[in-house]
Chains A and B, each alone.
Chain A
């Protein structure tokens, strides 16, 4: 097992810089998820750690050793690819044992390691099949098995679940988490799916345009987003953002609606701000679960509803902006119906209108 350190890591393709001086320290046994929209450089970063992409600048250390110039095979890592990347001409058993065979281990050792991995991932009945005869979920398990037989110091996962259907994805998510608890190894996991990131990670690294925006535990990045990007990217539905101006202890929105400044913010009069509130914190009166002490009430007309069973998502307009609100213990709501909503101010955020950065001190 090993720590991974990224020091000022840069990736350039010709004159184009796609990863800008990234710093990240990953502890031994930690499950770190790199998440971000496509093109944010998360896969490139992972591939630099794997050794599949050259490192244009900075340093990557695995287990205290600088690996910049080492080929993948000398980095003691293993990787699970998005498209499984199984060897189609080999059986499951051969796929699992391939890396050990290349490492010239004895057949007895290979069999032992392969059987053990097969046991962990319940692949035993499939050992003599070829990848072509496996379902997507089974292939993904073989790909994971291939990664674990080698007992590497670091596991790298590159969007391993994105080719699976929703149900299987949920199932495999649990399996990956169990696997991590069993193996207690360092894992770097790349995904564009914030739910995967939230559910799997010890720590989430949110990336955008080749920069790290925020690093923190899932709850931390959810509760305390450092900017509007993180606020809208993490959490579903995305955080509602409303533009306004601070007037004394209130925020005035474009149409004149006033809301109190959330507690914990001290902001100069007249500053342009973006007010952020999640759907969970704006609920119709009588269908809410109040959180925190500070409340505000607004009246809005509901445009659209999305019943989800235990709750209903309400789409309404506040100060000219569409906001999403949640209704607990839902009752049928007519389109156009006016309702009074509670806003839990303790859970609301203020960001700088220009930079999008949080204004929390």
Chain B
């Protein structure tokens, strides 16, 4: 009997190869392939209809796509920066707490424990123009007698979404920066005091450089998160009103599953991935650079 002899390294790697191809490789190749077809979910045989780069050309010349792209970048920039600032502030304050700090740290994580879908529903209610908490509070305080259309006005809707994003994710920055604060050696801070630094100068010249690696790690994680933002927006505004809060993935989701144009949706998806990859690479570069500044790693 002549049994097929596989080299041992291949045999050992085979389980990993099989699992990886089942969950990563095959879907990846299939979706990439389908982005070159006019594949529609309603007409399965259209998956064999090769259209070349048509979907990509269409996406790149589509105003709606670029509007969603721009909006996603805007959301990324604004939300990430504000989350970083708030998270930094939160971490600095929590690190000063001497009693009950553990409890506070746990409480800080609460927003992360909720499903984004539920957070979306919660903020949809909070910002509702008729029965929402915000309008109710504003009216009760006599600040306004109008029903402010938080989720209907284009700008306000974007603001509301950013607000919800910040509420859920500030603690990611908070926790990571807090970890960074704990890792700062005490000596350089004392040296800074003796060297004549005010509290602000100590923070600016000593604490902050030590925190930068932690900030960039948080940025890298969150940029991936926000670049694929879907759930909160889908629930709060469904990309509306009149597509004014349409982000990349709500657009792609709608194109793929509502309009059933999966080939086109996949093409847009592949373009969008580059956005996420770009931000990730950018923040990792920054991370490496800031670590190098501190003399950590190569």
Q: CB within 8 Å of B: which residues of A?
A: 50-52, 71-73, 77-79, 81-89, 98-99, 102-103, 130-133, 146, 150
Contacts and interface: CB of A to CB of B under 8 A. Distances in A.
Contacts of A81: 187, 190-191
Given A83-B185, A87-B188, A103-B196, 16 more contacts: A72-B196, A73-B193, A73-B194, A73-B198, A78-B195, A79-B194, A81-B187, A81-B190, A85-B188, A87-B192, A87-B205, A87-B206, A99-B195, A102-B195, A102-B201, A150-B196
B293 interface: yes
A78 B205 contact: no
A50 B294 contact: no
A85 B191 contact: yes
Interface in B179-232: 185, 187-188, 190-198, 201, 205-206, 209-210
A84 B194 contact: no
A72 B197 CA distance: 9
B194 A130 contact: no
Contact of A85 (B187, B293, B294, B295): B187
B193 A51 contact: yes
Given A85-B187, A88-B188, A73 B197 contact: yes
25 contacts: A52-B190, A52-B193, A72-B194, A72-B196, A73-B194, A73-B195, A73-B197, A78-B194, A79-B191, A81-B190, A83-B185, A86-B188, A86-B191, A87-B188, A88-B295, A89-B210, A89-B295, A98-B192, A102-B201, A102-B205, A130-B293, A131-B295, A132-B294, A146-B191, A150-B196
A98 B195 contact: yes
A82 B194 CA distance: 14
B294 A77 contact: no
A79 to B, nearest CB: 5
Contacts of B210: 89
A82 B191 CA distance: 11
Contacts of B295: 88-89, 130-133
B191 A73 contact: no
B187 A89 contact: no
Contact of A88 (B190, B195, B198, B294): B294
Contact of B187 (A78, A84, A98, A130): A84
A144 B6 CA distance: 65
B209 to A, nearest CB: 4
Interface in B283-297: 293-296
Nearest to A82: B187
A48 to B, nearest CB: 13
Contacts of B205: 87, 98, 102
A52 B198 CA distance: 13
Q: Which 9 A-B pairs have the closest CB atoms?
A: A132-B295, A85-B187, A99-B195, A73-B196, A85-B191, A89-B209, A89-B293, A79-B194, A88-B295
A85 B293 CA distance: 16
A82 B185 CA distance: 13
Given A98-B205, A132-B295, A85 B197 contact: no
A290 B209 CA distance: 63
B217 to A, nearest CB: 17
Name the residue among B187, B206, B210 with the largest chain A CB count within 10 angstroms.
Answer: B187
Contact of B197 (A77, A88, A89, A102): A102
Contacts of A130: 293, 295
B194 A52 contact: yes
Contacts of B185: 83, 85
A71 B205 CA distance: 18
Contacts of B201: 102
B185 to A, nearest CB: 7
Contact of A102 (B190, B196, B293, B296): B196
Contacts of B198: 73
Contacts of A51: 193-194
Contacts of A72: 193-194, 196
A84 B188 CA distance: 8
A98 B185 CA distance: 18
Nearest to A77: B194
B187 A99 contact: no
Contacts of A89: 209-210, 293-295
Contacts of A84: 187
Contacts of A88: 188, 293-296
Contacts of B191: 79, 81, 85-87, 146
A341 B147 CA distance: 104
A88 B201 CA distance: 16
A85 B209 contact: no
A300 B54 CA distance: 104
A8 B235 CA distance: 69
A146 to B, nearest CB: 7
Contacts of B190: 52, 79, 81, 85
A224 B137 CA distance: 80
Nearest to A130: B295
B173 to A, nearest CB: 21
Contacts of A78: 194-195
